[in-house]
Structure 1
Amino acid sequence: MMWFLTCVAALIAGYFIYGAVIEKIFGINENRQTPAITKQDGVDFVPMSTKKVYLVQLLNIAGVGPIFGPIMGALYGPAAMLWIVLGCIFAGAVHDYFSGMLSVRNGGASVPTLTGRYLGNGAKHFMNIFAIVLLLLVGVVFVSAPAGMITNLVNDQTDMTVTMSTMVAIIFTYYIIATIVPVDKIIGRFYPLFGALLIFMSVGLISAVAMSSEHTIMGGFEVKDMFSNMNPNDLPLWPALFITIACGAISGFHATQSPLMARCMDNEKNGRFVFYGAMIGEGIIALIWCALALSFFGSVEALSDAVANGGPGKVVYDSSFGLLGVFGGIIAFLGVVILPITSGDTAFRSSRLILAEYFNLDQRAMRNRLMMAVPLFVLGGILTQVDFGVIWRYFGFANQTTAVMMLWTASAYLLRHNKFHWVTTVPAMFMTTVVITFILNNSTLGFGLGMQISTIVGVLTMLGITGTVIKISKGKGEDDYLDEEKPKPITENV
């Protein structure tokens, strides 16, 4: 119990201490108008209250990532909790803050545009393709996962295939609507309520464990277990843990979502709460589910058996109903189902906006929105026919690669503006090594090389990229990278 509370306290302290450091390094300007004001269009650029923007941001970035990822990561033991804390404070929240604030400073631009602006056109073209692929994978994962969970919940004697197909069709229909209507009509109106539900659900479940006579939070584990690999399947902790637990520690998907709320935030001073703070909130949710998985089943072996017999969705089902009973279990389980749905629609919305930026197509007209959205849903529908496990594996790698690109983009920005860049460069170096080592070593997705040679190549490649980014960025001067638009300060328009 003490280790869990210590981890939560560390995340909260990270927000107030390290979050303030990041905010100071970036250098906010409270008197500068944000894109929500200067580009207000009633569709995507819509000013909303800070509390509402925070809750929507939290729900957008959450999905099943901070639940499924930590459950799978818990197979490594309490070491997963250590990565959630350190990754969230020093990498994930920093990544989210810069992806959001750089978008604010650049007219609400999406991640490919930001990458191109600070790393060059080659990087921009790469990210345009990579971001669309990632978002399509996210959209498909966040159709299949909730559809599967709902099917397992309502299925009795009915044909599961028919039920699953019906759920996929219903969710896709909702996605189409939510992707093309103005952001404040569905997302801005209902998602803050769902965000609050997510928080209450997670706190309710961990409180149920704390009050349970059958289960004890982290009761079967010792301090030394925080620093050891307990995976019963003999899977290596390096680098797989850092790919498995993405959302909750660091996730490139967030870089595609932060610009959505960058278009709705009405003052730069709210950036730390909205972007850094939402990631800390997700980190706490990830900690709760990691602790729940370990505490409810009592050992990594029992957890491994549950995962093998039904995946992380079964862990959610068993723990929700086992701790809260039928009524509370249904509410908690449906709360988990809502998460991927509310991230899946924003994944398709982000895809639409990225394509619109690329083709320079104004999105105020419904016809233009449909022109961008329809092809995306056709491709997404095709991908739902691919095995979920295959999609999830590719999603994990694509997700962390996107995070790497965003961190290097932030480093280039800081270098060009002569600011302290190591706050983004160090996590960029670490995650670059992770993704390169993973793809070289993994025999299913990558090249199946030995761990030693994969790590060596990963480190050498990381050093080469680090040197290149520093060389092309340092000393360029602020005037080389002026913002796309220079709106007048708020005081001049009052």
Structure 2
Amino acid sequence: MATFLVAIVLLILGYIFYSKFVEKVFSIDDSRKTPAYTEADGMDFVPMSWWKGNLIQLLNIAGTGPIFGALMGALYGPVAFIWIVIGCIFAGAVHDYFSGMLSLKHKGEQFPNLVGRYLGNGMKVFINILSIILMILVAAAFTASPAQLISSITPLSFTVSLMIVFAYFVIAAVLPINQIIGRIYPIFGAILIFMAVSIGIALLFNGQPIPNLTFSNLHPEELPIWPLLMVTISCGAISGFHATQSPIVSKTLKKESDGRKVFYGAMIGEGIIALIWAAAGMTFFGGTGGLQEALATGGPAGVVNEISISLLGTLGGILAILGVIILPITTGDTALRSSRMMLSETISKYLNFKGNGQILLVTLLVGVPTFLLATIDYSFLWRYVGWTNQLSATIMLWTATSFLLKSNKQHLITGIPAMFMTGVSATYIFYAPEGLQLSYPISLTIGTVLSIIVLIIYIKKIIDTRSHKTTNIEIV
């Protein structure tokens, strides 16, 4: 139990102290007008209070990610606590802050355009394709999962449930952000927090001891911690999906100092939620073996339902249903919204896509493949979300590092986590079932070699930047 409580305190301290350091490095100026005012269009660029932005951001980036992912990551044992705390404070929250604030700095630009600015057009084209694929996969997965539950507890068929969820996605993606998202998502965000806090308090008084820290790998199948844990628990530690969501909220900030509370703060909140559910998974079923059996029987949704009802009674059952239905829906629709924004931004130089009819057309262009993919197996979809998600996070961190290098700022705050995630992504794709399925030693070797190559390029960029800076000083 001590490890769990210390982990929560560390996340809170990370927000209080490290977020201010990150903000200082980025350098904010509240006298500058934000895109919410300079680009105001009544659709996406609409000023909102920071607390609304924080709850919307939390709901957008969370969904069931910090619940389902944390439960799967709990199979590794208390070592998952370490990854959530360190990953969230030094990688995930930093990633989310820079993805949001760089978007704000450049008039609300989407993730691919930010990548193009700092890593070049070639990388921009690649990340544009990767991001839209990721958004479609996430939206499809988060269409399928609530539709399956709706069909299981109502007379509606899966197909009808799927059509209802998808219709809502399209409506939410094309309406102005303050009409649905701005009005009801803060309420759902508060429900997400209440649900996690209730489970956390119940755990403390449940009588079952929450496991304390051990560096042992407790996974029943003895799957390697590196890099699988870092991909399994993405939401709650670091997730590239967040880089596509932060620009949605960056368009609503009233002042630059709101960014720390909205972007860094929401990620810390997600980390706390992930900690609570990881602890619940390790504790409730008497160990990782029991958790694995429960996951095999009822899946993550069944585990959430069982824990919630057992710890919180009827209230828990209601919260579980809200969580498994509403949370993926409120993430899936913003995934569709951001893919609409990305596609619009990509083709805006050729066509004007600002009218309501044009916005609907672009939404359907990404919506049709989303709907078709939602009809296939959910678990299959989710496997392919993992690697594209963490590769996107890696590229966003390198984008932020390039910005800091060019600005002669302390680039190591993003450079170190970027190198770490490079190793994760490079190793995972060679080892994973949805990757090349090579042996673990070979995958580890290739991942290490690729990481060293990237490190050499990074060091060269640092040297070139310092040389350029020195030359400029000499000229002056």
Task: Normalising by structure 2, report the TM-score.
Answer: 0.94
Measure how far apart 1:327 and its partner are. 4.0
Residues 14-163 of structure 1: matches in 2 within 5 Å?
A: 14-152=14-152, 154=153, 163=157
Shift of 1:144: 1.4
Per the TM alignment, residue 313 of structure 1 is displaced from its structure 2 partner at its CA by 0.9
CA positional deviation for 1:362: 4.5
Other-structure match for 1:379: 369
Cα deviation, 1:94-117, whole Å, max 9, x if unaligned, reads 000000000000110011000000
Deviation string for 1:243-263 (max 9, x for gaps)?
100000000000000000000
Mapping 1:434-449, distance limit 5 Å: 434-442=424-432, 444-449=433-438
In the alignment, which of 326, 338, 341 is matched to residue 314 of structure 2? Answer: 326
Please tell me whether residue 300 in structure 1 is matched to residue 279 in structure 2.
Answer: no
Query: Are positions 1:186 and 2:210 aligned together?
Result: no
CA deviations over 1:255-275 (Å, ceiling 9, x no partner):
000000000001111111110
CA distance in 1, matches of 2:209, 2:65: 22
Amino acid at match of 1:272: R
Who is 2:473 aligned against?
none
Q: Deviations over 1:145-203 (max 9, x none)?
A: 22223334x15xx6xxx532222111101001000000000000110011111111111
Say if 2:208 is the partner of 1:216: yes
Question: How far apart in 1 are the matches of 2:280 and 2:301?
Answer: 13
2:235 maps to 247
CA contact (8 A) 2:301 2:324 kept: no
Partner residue in 1 for 2:472 = none
How far apart are the structure 2 equivalents of 1:179 and 1:470? 42
Q: Is the 8 A contact 1:45 1:263 kept in 2?
A: yes
How far apart are 1:463 and its partner, in Å? 2.5
Say if 1:432 and 1:462, in contact at 8 Å, map to a contact too. yes
Assess if the C-alpha contact under 8 Å between 2:97 and 2:263 holds in 1.
yes
Q: Does 1:310 align with 2:304?
A: no
Q: Does the aligned pair in 2 maintain the 1:316–1:333 contact within 8 Å?
A: no
Amino acid at match of 2:96: D
User: How many Å separate the matches in 2 of 1:464 and 1:32?
Assistant: 40
CA distance in 1, matches of 2:238, 2:125: 23
What residue number does 2:193 align with?
A: 199
1:298-335 alpha-carbon deviations (Å, 9 max, x no partner): 21111000001121111111111111223431234313
Residues 150, 325 of structure 2: 8 Å contact kept:
yes
How far 1:393 sits from its partner (Å)?
A: 0.6
The one-letter code sitting in structure 1 at the alignment partner of 2:13 is A
Out of 167, 172, 193, the residue aligned to residue 161 of structure 2 is 167
**Deviation, structure 1 residue 470:** 5.2
Name the structure 2 match of 1:426: 416
Partner of 2:400: 410
Q: Which whole-Å CA distance do the structure 1 matches of 2:227 and 2:148 have between them?
A: 29
Is 1:451 aligned to residue 468 of structure 2? no
Determine helix, strand or coil for the equivalent of 1:238. helix
Distance (whole Å) between structure 2 residues aligned to residue 79 and residue 447 of structure 1: 27
Take 1:9 and 1:125, find their aligned partners in 2: how far apart are those partners?
41
- 1:234 is paired with a residue whose SS is coil
What TM-score does the superposition give when structure 1 sets the normalisation length?
Answer: 0.91
Question: 1:231 corresponds to which letter in structure 2?
Answer: H
Once structures 1 and 2 are overlaid, which stretch shifts more, 450-459 or 302-311? 450-459
Name the SS for the 1:331 alignment partner. helix
1:475 and 2:465 are equivalent in the alignment:
yes
Matched, 1:228 2:216: yes
- Who is 1:271 aligned against? 259
Structure 2: any 5+ residue segments left out of the alignment? 470-476
Conservation of the 8 A alpha-carbon contact between 1:12 and 1:280? yes
What's the CA shift string for 1:33-73, capped at 9, x where partnerless?
A: 11111000000000001111111011100011101100000
Q: Is the 8 A contact 2:310 2:316 kept in 1?
A: no
Shift of 1:93: 0.3
In structure 2, give the amino acid aligned to 1:453: I
* Native 8 Å contact 1:97 1:272 kept in 2: yes
2:2, 2:212 within 8 Å by CA — same for their partners in 1? no
Deviation at 1:430, TM superposition (A): 0.8
CA distance in 1, matches of 2:458, 2:129: 21
Measure how far apart 1:472 and its partner are.
5.1
CA distance in 2, matches of 1:368, 1:22: 39
Contact 1:317-1:333 within 8 A present in 2 as well: yes
User: Matched residues in 2 for 1:411 and 1:172: separation?
Assistant: 37
| Alignment-derived partner of residue 474 in structure 2 | none
* Residues 327, 18 of structure 1: alpha-carbon distance in 2 compared, 3 angstrom cutoff: closer
How many pairs align? 465
324-333 or 44-53: which moved more? 324-333
Distance apart, 1:469 and its partner CA: 4.6
Q: Which letter does structure 2 place at the counterpart of 1:73?
A: G
Alignment partner, residue 388 of structure 1: 378
Task: Say if 2:253 is the partner of 1:261.
Answer: no
